[in-house]
Amino acid sequence: MNLTLQSFRTTIMGLALGASFLLVAAPIVRADDDCQKRIIHLDHKLHEAAEHHGWDSPEAAKYRLQLADARAWCWEHSHRWWDEDEHRWHTERDWDDYDHDHHDHDHH
């Protein structure tokens, strides 16, 4: 009986420890997911604005700035940022603030 009680306690402690890891990891995963969604959305809006108004338009400039801000926020909070063009996470602050300027897209 003593062995069964000890086994039960060990199982409960293991479950509690596992649940605590999930609770700690969930906000990190959610922050990454939010960052990715925000960057994807702003990247799309920038391309849309450029297509409709031109790369030098105030509309494109607005989304270019918002995209840079989103990347910076993700970096500051998660130490990584989503690259929609390459479809991958970067773990270095290696984005180019000018990667969505019109010069990069004129020759495609």
pLDDT 10s digits, 33-54: 899 999 999 999 999 999 999 9
pTM above 0.85, yes or no: no
Q: What span, in angstroms and rounded, lies between the C-alpha atoms of 108 and 26?
A: 40
Q: Using the predicted structure, report yes or no on whether residue 106 has a pLDDT greater than 60.
A: no
Which residues, in sequence order, are CB contacts of 85 under 8 Å at separation 6+? 43, 99
Q: How many CB atoms lie within 10 A of CB 44?
A: 13
